[in-house]
């Protein structure tokens, strides 16, 4: 079989009328044996040279004619120094200059004109004032910087779909009485307005992003401030910062914190917590309280599953976790299979509540919880929760819990360090995460490596 193939290969190179070499008849017939190649052979040669030529063109095009994409040269380390300035506890990372490398956004309080050739006074602020700065992640060069306020109550970056902008922006609530939205790619002011907060009001973290309520297709913002024991509400237009609604007394006592949850039907609820109690209010209800309007925008819906739990005499939905002991410290979103669940982190027992029915999915002992948990993938594509709980004698236990079952996947006990920053996670390209935590490693640190 093989021979047949090789024969077929060789055959066209031979002349058809090659005479079989018989005995001594070799001499003299040489010219006849190597006749000019026939048409098939010419085609082959042509095809060979044509493809060679094409290959060469491609090679030359890529090596000389088409320029390589210029990659930013990343420095391994860089230092930027600010004299006569103070830091503010805020750092965000975002790709500001679209070079696929994360850049830094942070606030500093500037005391005097220094290397900067603009001053607070130039921008209409009294010195010292706050400067929002974006530094290139590749080499630390300043991408933009802008004076934002004399004092800052709240800052958040990475807010999308504001002012009809595709890219993200930063919102700064300043003192006295200003709210400003800045395009994080250019540093330009998107909009700016006064908040109308009373002067002694305290901004309650976080700022809530709610569906569009004024029909301009841009999501809007809901803000709570506390004045003594009362909560006040403000609704600002995401498009231009205009105040859409404000109520000095929404009839809710000041709480320790709040959290926004979106149900499976896309209805939004604000969960307020204080001590061990949690109450949920629909954004639709809060909107009516803030604007005193009878008709609600169609973007604001209520969820039948949630509404079924409403206590009609109090007007809110009480959320009662299985273990009512301990105070609520944090509420966190934990994405489930079909919808988001709510992790209730309490000072004694933490539990994962089903985002639709409030059933407890699992609970874990978190007596002496030290910090806000962090989410990451300990195993590929399985969401895990990292928590730090104090175990006495200056030591802490770091545990990683499977978010589906609540089982502990990994744990380690280490000494508390002198500083205890919250744990963090970094996602890797292969759908897992690095889990970062701080502490003092002791000699007898015993860690177990698992097959993942
Ligand atoms: C600030 O300095 C830069 C160069 O360092 C210069 O291009 C710019 O014009 C200066 N701006 C002002 C307001 O002086
Ligand atoms: C720093 O990197 C940016 C790109 O990220 C580049 O445009 C700039 O020229 C670099 N500056 C210096 C001083 O290398
Ligand atoms: C601030 O908002 C008010 C309404 O709340 C509006 O009338 C005013 O034009 C806004 N100011 C600016 C500078 O956008
Ligand atoms: C503020 O909210 C309370 C409680 O819902 C309501 O009774 C009151 O009418 C609201 N005020 C305004 C100005 O909307
Ligand atoms: C509604 O809340 C009130 C006051 O907290 C309570 O006394 C009552 O039992 C609750 N009703 C229901 C049906 O849970
Ligand atoms: C939770 O853990 C603490 C020590 O970390 C322990 O003292 C306590 O008894 C535990 N609680 C429960 C309900 O297991
Ligand atoms: C480390 O832990 C493993 C299992 O958790 C145990 O078998 C081993 O003895 C421990 N080693 C030390 C030095 O404590």
Residue 12, phi then psi, degrees to nearest 5: -60, -25
Q: What average pLDDT does the structure give for the chain?
A: 86
Between CA 174 and CA 156 the distance in angstroms is 12
At residue 449 the predicted structure's pLDDT band, cuts being 50, 70 and 90, is low
At residue 445 the predicted structure's pLDDT band, cuts being 50, 70 and 90, is low
- Tell me if 292 CB under 6 Å of ligand 4: yes
Is the backbone peptide bond immediately before 128 cis, with ω within 30 degrees of 0?
Answer: yes
Instruction: For a ligand 5 pocket test, name from 311, 312, 318 the mutation site with the most ligand atoms within 8 angstroms of its C-beta.
Output: 311
Spatial contact of 231 and 224, defined as CB atoms under 8 Å apart: yes
Q: Which residue's alpha carbon is nearest to atom 14 within ligand 1?
A: 117
Per-residue pLDDT tens digits for 112-137: 766 667 788 888 888 899 999 999 99
Q: Which atom of ligand 6 is nearest to the CA of 390?
A: 5
Per-residue pLDDT tens digits for 325-382: 889 999 999 999 999 999 999 999 999 999 999 899 999 999 999 999 999 999 988 9
**Span 411-428, average pLDDT:** 87
Which pTM value belongs to this model?
A: 0.80
d(CA 301, ligand 4 centre) in Å: 20
What confidence score (pLDDT) does residue 196 get? 86
Q: Output 123 or 318, whichever has higher pLDDT.
A: 318
Indicate the burial class of 422 (C-beta count within 10 angstroms; 0-12, 13-18, 19 or more): middle
Per-residue pLDDT tens digits for 44-60: 999 999 999 998 888 87
Q: Residue 305 to residues 32, 288, 300, 365: CA-CA distances in angstroms?
A: 95, 21, 16, 29
- Tell me if 313 CB under 6 Å of ligand 5: yes
Q: DSSP labels for 122-140? A: GGT-PSSEEEEEEE-TTT-
What confidence score (pLDDT) does residue 397 get? 93
Spatial contact of 386 and 399, defined as CB atoms under 8 Å apart: yes
**Span 296-300, average pLDDT:** 87
What confidence score (pLDDT) does residue 431 get? 86
Between CA 207 and CA 165 the distance in angstroms is 19
What confidence score (pLDDT) does residue 39 get? 80
At residue 452 the predicted structure's pLDDT band, cuts being 50, 70 and 90, is very low
The residues that bridge with 392 in the sheet, in sequence order, are: 395
Q: Which ligand is nearest to the CA of 135?
A: 2
Instruction: For a ligand 1 pocket test, name from 117, 118, 142, 145 the mutation site with the most ligand atoms within 8 angstroms of its C-beta.
Output: 117
Which region among 27-41, 94-108, 206-220 has the lowest average model confidence (pLDDT)?
27-41
Per-residue pLDDT tens digits for 28-38: 455 555 556 68
- Tell me if 418 CB under 6 Å of ligand 1: no
């Amino acid at each position: 079989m093989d021979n047949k193939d090789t024969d077929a290969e060789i055959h066209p190179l031979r002349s058809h009328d090659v005479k079989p070499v018989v005995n001594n008849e070799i001499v003299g017939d040489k010219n006849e044996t190597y006749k000019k190649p026939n048409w098939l052979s010419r085609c082959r040669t042509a095809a060979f040279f044509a493809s060679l030529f094409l290959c060469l063109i491609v090679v030359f095009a890529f090596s000389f004619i088409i320029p390589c994409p210029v990659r930013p040269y990343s420095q391994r380390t860089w230092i930027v120094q600010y004299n006569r300035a103070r830091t503010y506890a805020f750092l965000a990372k975002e790709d500001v200059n679209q070079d696929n490398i994360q850049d830094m956004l942070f606030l500093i309080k500037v005391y005097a004109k220094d290397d900067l050739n603009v001053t607070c006074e130039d921008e209409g602020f009294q010195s010292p004032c706050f400067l929002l700065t974006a530094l290139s992640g590749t080499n630390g060069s300043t991408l933009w910087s802008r004076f934002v306020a004399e004092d800052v109550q709240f800052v958040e970056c990475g807010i999308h779909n504001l002012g009809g902008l595709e890219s993200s922006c930063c919102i700064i609530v300043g003192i006295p009485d200003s709210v400003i939205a800045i395009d994080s790619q250019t540093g330009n002011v998107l909009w700016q307005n006064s908040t109308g907060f009373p002067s002694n009001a305290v901004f309650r973290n976080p700022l809530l992003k709610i569906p569009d309520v004024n029909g301009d297709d841009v999501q809007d913002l809901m803000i709570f401030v506390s004045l003594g024991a009362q909560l006040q509400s403000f609704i600002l237009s995401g498009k231009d910062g205009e105040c859409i609604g404000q109520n000095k007394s929404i009839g809710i006592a000041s709480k320790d914190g709040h959290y926004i949850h979106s149900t499976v039907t896309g209805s939004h609820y604000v969960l307020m917590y204080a001590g061990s109690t949690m109450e949920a209010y629909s954004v639709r209800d809060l909107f009516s309280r803030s604007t005193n309007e009878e008709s609600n925008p169609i973007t604001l819906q209520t969820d039948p599953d949630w509404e079924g739990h409403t206590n009609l005499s109090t007007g809110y939905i009480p959320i009662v976790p299985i273990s009512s002991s301990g105070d609520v410290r944090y509420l966190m979103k934990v994405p489930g299979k079909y919808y988001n669940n709510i992790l209730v982190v309490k000072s004694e027992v933490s539990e994962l509540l089903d985002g639709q029915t409030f059933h407890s999915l699992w609970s874990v002992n978190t007596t002496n919880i030290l910090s806000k948990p962090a989410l990451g993938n300990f195993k590929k594509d399985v969401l895990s929760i990292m928590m730090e709980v104090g175990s006495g004698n200056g030591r802490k236990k770091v545990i990683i819990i499977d978010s589906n079952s609540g089982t502990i996947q990994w744990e380690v006990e280490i000494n508390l360090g002198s500083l205890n920053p919250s744990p963090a996670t970094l996602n890797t390209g292969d759908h897992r995460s690095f889990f970062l935590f701080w502490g003092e490693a002791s000699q007898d640190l015993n860690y177990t490596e698992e097959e993942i």
